[in-house]
Amino acid sequence: MSSESVKDRIWYKNWPSQVPKTLEYPDGTLADMLQETVEKYEGNLAISFLGGSVTYGELWDMVRCLATGLTNLGLAKGDVCAFMLPSSIQFVVAYYACHLIGVTVTAINPTYKALEIRHQLSDSGAKALIVLDIVYEEVEEGVKETNVDTVIGTNVVDLCGFSKLKIRLGKLMGKIPTGKLPPDCLHLTDLLKSPPKPPNVDIDPEDVAVLQYTGGTTGLPKGAMLTHRNLVANAAQCDAWLWKKDDTTGLVGVLPLFHAFGMTVVMNLAIRIGGFQLLFPRVPADYSELFAQIEKYSEKGGMIMPGVALLFNKMNHHPKIKNYDLSRMRMAVSGASALPLEVQTKFEKLTGAIIIEGYGLSEASPVVNGNPVDGVRKLGTIGLPFPDTEIKIMDRETGLEEMPPLPFAVAETGGLTEEQAEVADAYTGELVVKGPQVMKGYLNRGLETAAAIRDGWLYTGDIACMDAEGYTIIRDRAKDMIKGKGYAIFPAEVEDIFHRNPDIQNVAVIGVPDEEEGEVVKAFIVLHPDRKGKVSTEDIKEWAKKNMGYYKVPSMIEFRDELPTTLIGKVLRRVLKEEEMSKRKAQGTRRKAQGIE
């Protein structure tokens, strides 16, 4: 945003004094960003992973070696290389090696099955795949009928610096997971023996760096085309916003790097500031391990922990959290789903670290909004737009009319009250955003790109309103909104209220078709372990009647031991809806067979 276009936005009223409203962005690539950091902090810790550590100098050497090896295999500017890797040293090395030679990256969820793998490989046109050996079985089927002609395998500890004996014993004892690779599979460690002399490639910052696959608002996953400029800009925006840090600060990497949130707010941000990444291939089964690592590495320069509400909630209720000193964790950043107020306040009390709730989406690299580190931080909102980021609320029906802000400012705790929520309905619409982090478009999907990006504005598919001071409240996804009893019911708001019930550990709310009312509310509830069998569905309904508007009270409640989630912990309402529809269809079939209908 040029200085001429900076106007008095309502969100400037509480703008953090330490953050510029507009930034100067490097006119370079992701590889340029890494090289600049290496020149400043060559001997500093860059990555800690499973007991192994890598300095910036060592990381740069490996990046150049792998870039040479990939070039020798025939990969060149404009080609696509897919990864099927957990967060690891290999992921970081491969990511920046590809960007050094102009190869586009697309990262596949390592838990995907063959058909899902095949879709992403085919849609992206990937020519090569770097895969963890333990997940190769699904890949073997997934690569069929795709353009992939090179498969490169690796074991999770390949770059940890362990001795051959330790690796051999670890695999025999089952402490190091391993899988069988085919005889003709190349090995990442062999490619890293290439000389660190990659070709000089002319890469434009507007070139596509990452194809980030996302469901978007409808249909099969689509490849959001994120350019070098998009990703470098978003790392710079995060750097400016999360200003309370330095080059000794670490980023806790429990979020998978294949997800846009982890890619930017862990990996790219760490490299932008010269800090280090404390990576985990997955969230430890025993959270004590996570606490111990945070305590150990916080001594360097404090830690920033990006995460999701489910993760913070599990940490809150872990019986051993008070056994560890987490007081040097500087802050946590919550995204991907709404952060319930109860989860936020308990976490802050236990650790002393504030949680900054923010908002983003894959199509925006991904971060758009955040609450300030200091100053007016409104819990229950996603805060203010990032530097050089414009937002507005457009009407839900046509997307053409801009909705005014609320006639009031929400309080600093709790977001909208019940009474305010009813008033806010008239000011609620679709959140649209514009900024340097917004994608180029969807790969090979002109119509969907045109629907998502209009006159430079990205239509997010999220339903929101803005208070009188520019703080945005996400009310829900447009596709998840429930229309029942003549009201627009937002599942996220009902879930937020339920999270205040001390018996409830997790909850998801969906709309279920109803002949009389259009849709009714159904809640799937996970009770805390010590409350199972002691709390009934009627108890939950009675509590709900006392704590939320009558039209929000669920007509149906189902207890679950767990809810379906993504790897980053975001509850999959879509899966619950599909299960519910399948169940109802089966019931209808049985009724017809029995002659009831």
pLDDT, one tens digit per residue, over 84-113 is: 999 999 999 999 999 999 999 999 989 888
What is the residue whose two structure tokens read 């014993």? 169
Cα gap 501→311, rounded to integer Å: 18
The alpha carbon torsion through 231, 234, 236, 239 (nearest 10 deg) reads -130
Cα gap 497→552, rounded to integer Å: 10
State yes or no: pLDDT of 4 exceeds 60: no
CA 501 to chain centre: 26
Cα gap 566→84, rounded to integer Å: 16
The domains of the chain, with CATH numbers, are: 48-204 (3.40.50.980), 481-593 (3.30.300.30)
What is the per-residue DSSP string for 117-174?
A: HHHHHHHHT-SEEEEEGGGHHHHHHHTTTSS--EEEEE-TTTTTT--HHHHHHHHHTT
pLDDT at 217: 43
Kindly report whether the peptide bond that precedes residue 366 is cis, defined as omega within 30 degrees of 0.
yes
State the DSSP H helix or E strand holding residue 114, giving kind and residue range, or none if neither.
Answer: helix 114-124
Cα gap 249→304, rounded to integer Å: 7
Mean pLDDT to the nearest integer, 452-477: 91
Provide the pLDDT confidence category of residue 133 given band limits of 50, 70 and 90.
very high
Cα gap 471→476, rounded to integer Å: 16
Provide the pLDDT confidence category of residue 218 given band limits of 50, 70 and 90.
very low
Cα gap 489→484, rounded to integer Å: 7
State the DSSP H helix or E strand holding residue 522, giving kind and residue range, or none if neither.
Answer: strand 518-527
234-278 pLDDT per residue, tens: 999 999 999 888 888 899 999 999 999 999 999 999 999 999 999
Cα gap 132→110, rounded to integer Å: 8
State the DSSP H helix or E strand holding residue 539, giving kind and residue range, or none if neither.
Answer: helix 537-547
Give the pair of three-digit tokens for residue 70. 């990939």
14-66 pLDDT per residue, tens: 999 999 999 999 999 999 999 999 999 999 999 999 989 999 999 999 999 99
- The DSSP letter of residue 364 is G
Amino acid identity for residue 431 in this structure: L
State yes or no: pLDDT of 6 exceeds 60: no
User: Whole-prediction pTM value?
Assistant: 0.83
